[in-house]
Amino acid sequence: MTQVLVLNASYEPLNVCSVRRAHVLVFKGKAEVIDALEQPLRSATDTYKWPHVIRLMTYVSVPRTVQRKISRRALFARDGWRCAYCGITAGRLTLDHVIPRSRGGESVWENVVTSCAPCNLKKGNRLLHEVQMVLRTKPRIPAPVLYIRLSTPRLPDRWKQYLPELVEASAA
């Protein structure tokens, strides 16, 4: 495992970093090891804990108003890799604006959803009520832990206690 979960001083998940970066933060006293792997991290002269989860010693204020740019991967993950209209997971997924851009809709998280190609073609540049379509869930800004999940190919079991939003989302 070459990735380390970084928690804020309040135990809120912030990010994922490399083992090297985590060790430097711990060595400089800017973070503490909350969970370590069994094998040690060795240098030429010393042995250290191999960090698996670290917590920053001082609280880092994370602005909630700053939105990350929309990417297809993050959008599809937010919507559970399923069409927001029919719920299908098979087939080609596309990005769709709930209020079409041609009608003044913006490219913001609250107006963009995952759509299968047939639903996207059916809707076209019309509004939902014009084609008698409904959204299965209301589009929203994704939780910050979504980006942790996207950056980690396989979520380690020992991280799950620190990422309750991901555990709830995968159970749903």
Same-domain check for residues 76 and 57: no
8 A C-beta contact, residue 7 and residue 54: yes
Domain membership of residue 92 (yes or no) is yes
Comparing CA positions, the residue from 144, 146, 152 lying closest to residue 5 is 152
Residue 24 lies in domain = 1-62
Q: Is 171 helix (H, G, I), strand (E, B) or coil?
A: helix
DSSP-assigned states of every residue in 122-166: HHTTS-GGGTT---SS---PPPTHHHHHHH-SS--GGGGGG-HHH
pLDDT for 172:
44
Could you list the pLDDT tens digit for every one of the 172 residues in the chain? 589 999 999 998 988 999 999 999 999 999 999 999 999 989 899 999 999 999 999 998 876 655 678 889 999 999 999 999 999 998 899 999 999 999 999 999 999 999 999 999 999 999 999 999 999 999 998 877 787 878 777 888 888 888 876 544 444 4
Residue 48: its H or E element: strand 47-56
Distant-in-sequence, close-in-space partners of 73: CB < 8 Å, separation ≥ 6: 150
Same-domain check for residues 126 and 107: yes
User: Model-level pTM greater than 0.85?
Assistant: no
The neighbouring-strand residues paired with 56 are: 31
Q: What share of the chain is helix, strand, coil (3-state, %, to 5)?
A: 30, 25, 45
pLDDT for 62:
74
Q: For residue 78, what is the domain's CATH number?
A: 1.10.30.50
Domain membership of residue 104 (yes or no) is yes
pLDDT for 69:
83
pLDDT for 66:
56
Distant-in-sequence, close-in-space partners of 90: CB < 8 Å, separation ≥ 6: none
Residue 41, token pair as written in the block: 């991290």
Same-domain check for residues 58 and 84: no
pLDDT for 65:
55
Task: Count up the domains in the chain and report the number.
Answer: 2
pLDDT for 166:
52
